[in-house]
């Protein structure tokens, strides 16, 4: 039986792991390679690395980090942050990343999704969508959730799926950093609407929140950062809890 | 022991090499016919689209070499599908080592089953030394939209939409749909078993 995935997200700045609370305040949580290995050994199903300082001159540093991670761990991982061209993707996949994720660049130039999917296959193209509810309507936001767009989240999700995205990483900016639970409603809406997997992100605070996002939220995977980095929820305990709640989980 | 990994424009080739390195094996990455023919073990990873991959194999004349190899051969992911007779992916005739057809997942209800099949799923009905030491609770990592049908050559099954061939074997040819290089300790065990066949 296909299992629900638990995905720790490692925010990377200058080669170190950080986690922003609401993406503004940053705390240092260690060496990414070491942390990746720990998560992989603890039973994380996949990892996401988000380079929050990704600039052109940092690209090489990121590729070097990706190679170190690929050599160290035996589970799949996705790399995102500042990726905008087919060439960016090629460098990271060749360095050993299994998937890449794009966000702002896809909003700016949606054709790039088609180009990347055609060149490398949909399976390695994750489109990250940051959503915020404004007066009852869900709008896509870019630049770490700071910049609103006129795109409605549901319509954009449908479009990226049609353009060849292999998965959607949906982050609710309203829930991110709150620890009050995932945005189950919009996650379910999008998961139900699309034929590709949806990774829910933003708002995890306790183990029940994961159960809720897999049941009510219809998520295929759930992503979180600080609660894992600061050992508030150990992954083995979380998986044991979810198994006990009849959620299909890899043991 | 000389292990050859067939050089091929697929994203996961590097990951397969890293996985072998973690097992202490330094494999040769090559598309040279002679070098592949004289290796003790051959691994054929794959990812991507079937017709493009077959075109590449023909260009390199690997389509003639591979089916006649006598050493242990391991096709992974698309590598498993290409060892079959035919794939529904762009109606592609494949290498024909396994008299098996490759079909696309067509779920009756797309809300229940998404395509591609992405994530960790378990193997069951395990057979042969390739799967020694593993149980029906062994999870491996899948990313695919096409699957190999069950046949007498199936040595482990997985269920998604329907039961399909997770791993297959015919004589010296072994094949696996999931990614052993990304399947944690289970994947490591399968690679180790293959290397010690």
- pLDDT at position B38 is 97
Listing DSSP states for B156-182 in one string gives EEEEESEEEEEEEEETTEEEESS-GGG
For residues A194 and A60, which has the higher predicted lDDT (pLDDT)? A194
Active site residue B77: yes
Q: How far apart are CA B84 and CA B93, in angstroms?
A: 8
Average pLDDT rounded to a whole number, residues A106-130: 94
In a domain, A77, yes or no: yes
Instruction: Identify the domain containing residue A41 by its residue range.
Output: 5-245
Number of domains in chain A: 1
pLDDT band at A15 (very low <50, low <70, confident <90, very high): confident
Strand A5-13 and strand A221-224: pairing? parallel
Which residue in B12, B18, B116 is closest to A71 by CB distance?
Answer: B18
In a domain, A65, yes or no: yes
pLDDT band at A34 (very low <50, low <70, confident <90, very high): confident
**Taking CB atoms and an 8 Å cutoff, what residues of chain A touch B143?**
76, 123
- High-pLDDT (> 90) share of chain A, %: 73
pLDDT band at B100 (very low <50, low <70, confident <90, very high): very high
In a domain, A250, yes or no: no
- pLDDT at position A56 is 56
- pLDDT at position B193 is 97
φ, ψ of residue A145 to 5 degrees: the values are: 85, 5
Whole-number mean pLDDT of chain B? Answer: 94
Lowest mean per-residue pLDDT among A36-40, A46-50, B117-121: A36-40
CATH of the domain at A204: 3.20.20.70
pLDDT band at A26 (very low <50, low <70, confident <90, very high): very low
Lowest mean per-residue pLDDT among A8-12, A18-22, A151-155: A18-22
Interface confidence (ipTM) of the complex: 0.91
Per residue in B16-58, pLDDT (tens digit) is 999 999 999 999 999 999 999 999 999 999 877 889 889 999 9
In this complex, how many residue pairs, one in chain A and one in chain B, have their CB atoms less than 8 Å apart? 86
pLDDT band at A55 (very low <50, low <70, confident <90, very high): low
- pLDDT at position B108 is 81
In Å, how far is B15's CA from the nearest CA of chain A?
A: 6
Q: How far apart are CA A74 and CA A214, in angstroms?
A: 25
In a domain, A216, yes or no: yes
User: Does the pLDDT of residue A199 top 90, yes or no?
Assistant: yes
Rg (CA), chain B: 15
Could you give the C-alpha distances from A235 to A37, A39, A66, B134, in angstroms and in order?
13, 8, 23, 23
Full set of structural domains in chain B with CATH: 3-195 (3.40.50.880)
- Calculate the dihedral angle through the C-alpha atoms of B20, A222, A117, B139, rounding to the nearest 10 degrees: 40
φ, ψ of residue B63 to 5 degrees: the values are: -65, -25
Nearest residue to A5 via CA among A228, A237, A235 = A235
Interface-testing mutation among B7, B10, B11, with chain A (most A C-beta atoms within 10 A):
B11
Is some CB atom of chain B closer than 8 A to the CB atom of A119?
no
Listing DSSP states for A13-74 in one string gives ETTEEEEEETTTEEEEEE-HHHHHHHHHHHT-S-EEEEETT--GGGHHHHHHHHHHHHHH-S
In a domain, A40, yes or no: yes
Average pLDDT rounded to a whole number, residues A157-178: 96
Q: How far apart are CA B31 and CA B36, in angstroms?
A: 7
In a domain, A251, yes or no: no
């Amino acid at each position: 039986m296909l299992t629900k995935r638990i995905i720790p997200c490692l925010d990377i700045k200058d080669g170190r792991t950080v986690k922003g609370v609401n993406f503004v305040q940053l705390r240092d949580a260690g060496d990414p390679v070491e942390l990746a290995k720990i998560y992989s050994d603890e039973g994380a199903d996949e990892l996401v690395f988000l380079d929050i300082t990704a600039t052109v001159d940092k690209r090489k540093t990121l590729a070097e980090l990706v190679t170190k991670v690929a050599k160290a761990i035996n589970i799949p991982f996705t790399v995102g942050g500042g990726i905008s061209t087919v060439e960016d993707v090629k460098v990271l996949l060749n360095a050993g990343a299994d998937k890449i994720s794009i966000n702002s660049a896809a909003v700016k130039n949606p054709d790039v999704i088609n180009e990347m999917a055609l060149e490398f296959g949909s399976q390695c193209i994750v489109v990250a969508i940051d959503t915020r509810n404004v007066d009852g309507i869900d709008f896509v936001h870019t630049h770490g959730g700071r910049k609103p767009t006129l795109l409605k989240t549901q319509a954009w999700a449908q479009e990226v799926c049609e353009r060849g995205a292999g998965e959607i990483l949906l982050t609710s900016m309203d829930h991110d950093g709150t620890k009050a639970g995932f945005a189950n409603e919009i996650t379910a809406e999008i998961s139900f609407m699309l034929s590709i997997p949806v990774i829910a992100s933003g708002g995890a605070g306790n183990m029940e929140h994961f159960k809720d996002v897999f049941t009510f939220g219809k998520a295929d995977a759930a992503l979180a950062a600080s609660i894992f980095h600061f050992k508030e929820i150990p992954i083995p305990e979380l998986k044991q809890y979810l198994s006990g709640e009849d959620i299909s989980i890899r043991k | 022991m000389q292990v050859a990994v067939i050089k091929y424009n697929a994203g996961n080739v590097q990951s397969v090499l890293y996985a072998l390195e973690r097992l202490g094996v330094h494999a040769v990455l090559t598309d040279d016919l002679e070098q592949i023919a004289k290796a003790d073990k051959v691994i054929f990873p794959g990812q991507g689209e079937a017709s493009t991959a077959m075109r590449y194999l023909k260009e390199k004349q690997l389509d003639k070499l591979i089916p006649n190899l006598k050493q242990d051969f391991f096709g992974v992911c698309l590598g498993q599908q290409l060892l079959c007779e035919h794939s529904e992916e762009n109606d592609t005739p494949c290498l024909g080592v396994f008299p098996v057809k490759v079909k696309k997942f067509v779920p009756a209800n797309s809300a229940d089953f998404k395509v591609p099949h992405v994530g960790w799923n378990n193997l069951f009905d395990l057979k042969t030394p390739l799967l020694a030491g593993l149980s029906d609770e062994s999870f491996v990592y899948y990313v695919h939209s096409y699957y190999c049908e069950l046949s007498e050559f199936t040595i482990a099954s997985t269920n998604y939409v329907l039961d399909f061939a997770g791993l297959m074997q015919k004589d010296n040819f072994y094949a696996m749909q999931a990614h052993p290089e990304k399947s944690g300790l289970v994947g490591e065990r399968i690679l180790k078993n293959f290397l010690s066949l």
